């Protein structure tokens, strides 16, 4: 179940990378949030899991209500994004399982893959809805990193991440390319 959750998190991130429409972005974010929530729950962080689920879920719902009402999965010219999703996933998998040792490899893979893909998405994207969705997922993955510490960071980073993910989803870009 943990491994499935980890791959689901990657899948969610990959969907965010590959999509431009609000429906697919919302689903990607929801998948990622649900996977993170499951991983946190499996790690015994129940409050953290709930926070991630609520924050991520609410952010996904908000995302599904703003932006172009289309799926927009893999629009023309998405080949580099597809390669990024696959290569990023593989790289994260190698780092989480081979380079890094010790227990918690699925959580590491989930956190690193989402972190890397969302970072890359934000650095290469220009449309605010996709950027804000990636930002929400990035915030959630940052909280997952805190779970990698042996002592456990407690629920505070998860709660903070949920608040940020939710807050980012209500943001409306007012710049020259604002949504």
Partner 1 sequence: MEPELAIALPAAGSACAAMLKTRPKAAVVSAASLGLAGVAAIVVYAPGSTSEQLGFAFSVSAESRALVIAAAAALALVVALAPLLVERATLLTWGLAGLSGMVAIAAATSIEIVILVVLALAALQAAAPGKRPFATRLRGPVLAATLLAVAAAAARSDGPSILSRLAAVALVAGLFAALGAMPYIHEFDAEERTATSPVPWMAFIGPVMVLAVLTQARALVPSEGAAVGAMMIALGLINMLWGSVASWRTEGGAAAWHYSFMADWGLALCGLGLAIADGRRAAVLVLLGIVLSRLPLYLWSRQALREKRPNDRPINLLASAMLAGAAPFAGFAARVLLLRGATQLYWPLALVIGLGLLLWLPPSLRLGRSLGLPRGRQAWGVGIALAVNAAIGLYPQPFLSLAGL
For partner 1, the closer of residues 77 and 178 by Cβ is: 178
Taking each helix axis as running N to C, give the angle between helix 22-42 and helix 46-64, from 0 to 180 degrees, rounded to the nearest 10. Answer: 180
For partner 1, the closer of residues 25 and 138 by Cβ is: 138
Least Cβ distance, residue 162 to partner 1 (angstroms): 10
For partner 1, the closer of residues 27 and 161 by Cβ is: 161
For partner 1, the closer of residues 16 and 161 by Cβ is: 161
Distance CA 53, CA 31 (A): 10
Distance CA 14, CA 170 (A): 23
Q: Is 127 helix (H, G, I), strand (E, B) or coil?
A: coil
Cβ-contact 134, 125 below 8 angstroms: yes
Distance CA 13, CA 30 (A): 10
Least Cβ distance, residue 5 to partner 1 (angstroms): 17
Least Cβ distance, residue 83 to partner 1 (angstroms): 19
Taking each helix axis as running N to C, give the angle between helix 128-146 and helix 46-64, from 0 to 180 degrees, rounded to the nearest 10. Answer: 180
User: What residues line the site for partner 1 (CB under 8 A)?
Assistant: 99-102, 108, 111-112, 115-116, 118-119, 122-123, 125-128, 131-132, 135, 138-139, 141-143, 145-146, 148-150, 153, 155-157, 159-161, 164, 167-168, 171-178
For partner 1, the closer of residues 77 and 175 by Cβ is: 175
Bridge partners of residue 73, in order along the sequence = 19
In 3D space, the residue among 67, 50, 46 whose CA is nearest the CA of residue 128 turns out to be 67
Bridge partners of residue 19, in order along the sequence = 73
Least Cβ distance, residue 57 to partner 1 (angstroms): 18
Least Cβ distance, residue 141 to partner 1 (angstroms): 7
């Amino acid at each position: 179940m943990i491994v499935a959750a980890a791959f689901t998190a990657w899948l969610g991130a990959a969907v965010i990378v590959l999509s431009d429409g609000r429906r697919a972005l919302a689903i990607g974010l929801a998948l990622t949030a649900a996977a993170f929530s499951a991983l946190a729950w499996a790690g015994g962080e129940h409050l953290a899991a709930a926070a991630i689920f609520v924050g991520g879920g609410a952010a996904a719902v908000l995302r599904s209500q703003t932006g172009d009402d289309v799926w927009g999965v893999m629009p023309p010219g998405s080949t580099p994004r597809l390669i990024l999703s696959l290569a990023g996933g593989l790289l994260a998998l190698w780092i989480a399982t081979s380079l890094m040792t010790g227990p918690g490899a699925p959580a590491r893979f989930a956190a690193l893959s989402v972190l890397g893909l969302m970072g890359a998405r934000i650095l290469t994207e220009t449309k605010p809805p996709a950027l804000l969705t990636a930002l929400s997922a990035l915030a959630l993955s940052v909280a997952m990193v805190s779970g990698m510490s042996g002592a456990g960071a407690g629920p505070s980073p998860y709660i903070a991440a949920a608040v940020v993910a939710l807050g980012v989803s209500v943001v409306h870009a007012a710049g020259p390319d604002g949504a």
